[in-house]
Amino acid sequence: MALPKEWVSIEVKELEDLPCLRYAEKPDRRSSWRLLKERVVEAGICSHCGTCTICPVDLIILEDRPLDFDPKKGCMGCGVCVAVCPRYNYSPLSGIGDYIEAVAGKSKRFVGQDGAMVSEFMATALEMKEIDVALFVARDEMFRPYVVHVRSAEELYDTRITGTKYSFAPVMPELHRIIKRFDKIGFIGTPCMISGLRKLQKKVPLYEKRVRLAVGLFCTENFYWHQLYDFLKSRGADLKNAVKTDITKGNFIVTFKDGSEFVIPVKEMEPIVPEGCHVCQDFSAVEADVSVGSVGSDPGFSTVLIRKENAKKIFDYMVEKGYVETGKAKIKVVQRLCDYKVKIHPYPPKEEKSQE
C-alpha cells in the first residue's frame, strides 16, 4: 500500500531542526506507526536497520530484540517512520550491482577483520577532510556491539573498533543523534542499513547533504547479540574471552585470547537467524558508495567494489600515498554468493506445504 501523500511533507522541506517535526503539515492521528508494526514487524520482514528511530517522539524502540513501540509516547502522526522504512512496500535488491572498479585490498596501517579496507577508507577520508567523523561499531568485553565516533586515523589502531561484530548495532539512532552536529559524516553498515540510509536521504535532504561516505559490508545474516551469546555459551564458547569472530566457508569461528578456536557450522545457527534476514537478498550492499567483504579475496585481503566517484577519489588517494596493497578480486565468487542469497531467501517467502 502506498503511503498517503499528505502524510509526509518532509519530501519538500528540509528537516533542519530535527527531531522537532514541525513540518508535518497534515498530521494523521491514526498513528502511522501501526503500519510499520503490522506490515513490517509482525509480517516478519523488519531488518532491524533502525532507520525508523528518526521518530521525533522516541516511540520506536530499537534494542537487542525485535523492534517494539511505545504508544504512550503519543504519536504525532507525521508518517516519517513509514516513509523512511526500506522494508515498507518491500522490493528486495539483489545482485552485484554497478561498480567502477573491483579490487582486493589490504591496509598497511590497520588490523581489521580481513584487509582492514573499511577502516582504511574511513581513515583516508578523515585525512582528506572528506568527512569529520565516522561512525564505527566497537565491541565491549562481552563482544556486545556499541557505536563510537572516530575522528582520527590513530583511533583505528584499537582492534576492538575494527573487525566484524555479528550482531545488530544501533548505528542509525546514533546517526539521527549527530546529524545536526557534524557537517560531513562517514557511515558503515550492512546492506539493509545502507538501504535505510538511502531511503532516508531521499526523504530528508539533511542526510543527503551530510552523509558523505557510505561503506556497505557484504552480509548473509546477522544476529541479536544476546541470542548469539547464549547460543555459543550453550555450545561451550564464551564470547567474553573472544578476540575475533568470523564466518568462513560455512563455519562460525570464535578465536579466543589464548589463540584457541571454536568452530561450528553456520547451519546449526539457523534457529537464531532473525526473520528479517530470511527475506533479504542483498549480499553486496548494492546501494553503497563502496562495498567491502571477505569473499572474493585471499585471506588477509578485503574485496572492494568501488561504486561511486566519492569512493574512487578516496581509493586513488590511499593508493597514491602507499597506504594499501592491492590485488585482483575474484568477482565470480562474489557473484556466486549474491546468487546464493537470492536462492536461500525467496521473497515473498515460499508457503509452507500443508500437512493435509
Chain residues binding ligand FAD by CB under 6 A are 112-119, 136-137, 145, 161-167, 169, 171, 188-190, 217-220, 222, 247, 292-295, 302
Nearest-approach distance from CB 262 to ligand FAD, in angstroms:
17
173 sits near ligand SF4 (criterion: CB under 6 A): no
Residue 291 and residue 285 in contact, taking contact as beta carbons nearer than 8 Å: yes
End-to-end CA distance of the chain: give it in Å, rounded: 33
Q: Of 31-39, 258-266, 291-299, 319-327, which part binds ligand SF4 (CB under 6 A)?
A: 31-39
The region of 56-64, 205-213, 236-244, 331-339 touching ligand SF4 under the rule CB under 6 A is 56-64
What residues contact residue 164 under an 8 Å CB cut-off, 6+ apart? 113, 217, 245, 246
As a 3-state breakdown, the chain gives helix, strand, coil percent values, each rounded to 5, of: 35, 20, 50
What is the CB neighbour count within 10 angstroms for residue 74?
Answer: 11
The only residue of 47, 107, 113, 303 in contact with ligand SF4, by rule CB under 6 A: 47
Please say which residue, 123 or 192, places its beta carbon nearer to ligand SF4: 192
User: Residue 81: which of ligand SF4, ligand FAD, none does it interact with, CB under 5 to 8 A by kind?
Assistant: ligand SF4
- Closest approach, Cβ 93 to ligand FAD, in A, equals 16
Instruction: Cell 572528506: give the residue.
Output: 130
Closer residue to ligand FAD, CB minimum distance, 73 or 177: 177
Of the pair 100, 344, the CB lying nearest ligand SF4 is at: 344
Q: How many residues bind ligand SF4 (CB under 6 A)?
A: 39
Reported as type and span, the H/E element at residue 121 is helix 117-127
Q: Could you say whether residue 52 binds ligand SF4 (CB under 6 A)? A: yes
Beta-carbon contacts of residue 196 (< 8 Å; ≥ 6 apart): 47, 49, 50, 51, 84, 85, 86, 172, 189
Instruction: Among 50, 112, 145, 163, indicate the residue that binds ligand SF4 (CB under 6 A).
Output: 50
Alpha-carbon gap, residue 263 to 179, rounded angstroms? 40
Is omega for the bond preceding 27 within 30 degrees of 0, making it cis? no
Residue 269 and residue 149: Cα distance in Å, rounded? Answer: 31
**Nine-digit cell at 146?**
556499541
Asked whether 267 and 274 are in contact (CB, 8 A), the reply is no
Instruction: Tell me how far, at minimum, the Cβ of 292 lies from ligand SF4, in Å.
Output: 14
State which of residues 81, 93, 269, 286 lies at the interface with ligand SF4 (CB under 6 A). 81
Cis check: omega of the bond before 348, within 30 degrees of 0 = yes
189 interacts with, out of ligand SF4, ligand FAD, none, CB within 5 to 8 A per kind: ligand FAD
- DSSP structure string for 129-168: TS-SEEEEEEE-TT--EEEEEE-SGGGGG-TTTSS---S-
277 touches ligand SF4 by CB under 6 A: yes
Read off the DSSP letter of residue 38. I
Choose the contact partner of 186 out of ligand SF4, ligand FAD, none; CB within 5 to 8 A by kind: none
Select 106 or 203, whichever has its Cβ closest to ligand SF4: 203
| Residue 192 binding target from ligand FAD, ligand SF4, none, CB below 5 to 8 Å by type | ligand SF4
Task: Name the one residue in this structure whose C-alpha cell is 513501540.
Answer: 69
**Which residue ranges make up the site for ligand SF4 (CB under 6 A)?**
32-33, 36, 40-41, 46-52, 55-57, 59-60, 67, 75-81, 85-87, 190-192, 196, 219, 221-222, 276-277, 280, 282
